[in-house]
Amino acid sequence: MEAVTKLDPVIDIRGLALSFEQNGQRTDVLRGLDLAVEQGEFIALVGASGVGKSTLLRVLMGLAAPTAGTVQVHPDPAAERPMALVFQDARLLPWRRVWSNVAFGLEKTSLNKAERRKRAMQALSVVGLADLAERWPWQLSGGQRQRVSLARALAVRPSILLMDEPFSALDVATREGLQDELIRVWRQMGKTIVFVTHDIDEAIYLADRIVALGGKPGEVKAVRTVDQPRPRKRGSIAMQDLAALVKADISAEGAPQRDDWVI
């Protein structure tokens, strides 16, 4: 019989601990954190403010070093970069036009200016903003700015998209529009996404699995699988039930819930 070979997880975190030292004082932020993310998965990371969500993304990006444990990343070999990060605020450079902001991350590559512009235009088309390419950032709405920042991340062709509360500063209608947009982009491009959010409904609407961080130092309290077909129905009974479970995961004290629950 032929052996079934399972692909390595694209992200494999084992026993991750991280402490910050400041003025001789140690703060333990993360402890004993295990997480494996499969290629093409959409993971939502939820948890109270200060639990270490952004720190975990920084560790994945290689911007913060673990105190203990291992973090392995096995990016899709077809991708040009392992990862790109999208923040809560778009962080566009005001002196560059929209297309030039999107092309910014390509400047250290071997692509010439025409190729960079072409790549930027492709990424802008993916997020539906090609016709705004010549505008300045101040001529955009908040939602459009976030789409430009998503395009800038896509332009470098990463295997994994890390997103740190990218829609939390937007009004509900814009946020929901961008959630649908993101799902469309994700399905079209087959990327792995790790999406940090405070909004449990957003996590349930978007993700394949929801990872709840909790405790001090932070650890994985529960992992829940959202077994709902897409497009998902906002506010359905199944989604509300799951929201109640995730809310409890986040606030729960005591032993982590290690089972994979399916609704």
Ligand X SMILES: Nc1ncnc2c1ncn2[C@@H]1O[C@H](COP(=O)(O)OP(=O)(O)OP(=O)(O)O)[C@@H](O)[C@H]1O
- Residues forming contacts to ligand X in the complex (CB under 6 A) are 20, 22, 27, 29, 47, 49-55
Query: Binding to Mg ion by residue 197, rule CB under 5 A?
Result: no
Report the residue number whose CB is nearest to Mg ion: 54
For Mg ion, the binding residue among 52, 54, 119, 224 (CB under 5 A) is 54
Region near Mg ion per CB under 5 A, out of 39-47, 48-56, 103-111, 207-215: 48-56
234: tokens are 């906002």
By the 8 A CB rule, do 33 and 222 touch? no
d(CA 141, CA 174): 10
Region near Mg ion per CB under 5 A, out of 12-20, 52-60, 166-174, 203-211: 52-60
Whichever of 60 and 133 has its CB closer to ligand X, that residue is 60
Q: Of ligand X, Mg ion, none, which one sits near residue 55, judging by CB under 5 to 8 A according to partner kind? A: ligand X
- Cα torsion for 247, 251, 257, 260, to the nearest 10°? 20
* Per rule CB under 5 A, count of chain residues that contact Mg ion: 1
Subset of 10-39 contacting Mg ion (CB under 5 A): none
Q: Of Mg ion, ligand X, none, which one sits near residue 29, judging by CB under 5 to 8 A according to partner kind? A: ligand X
35: tokens are 């997480």
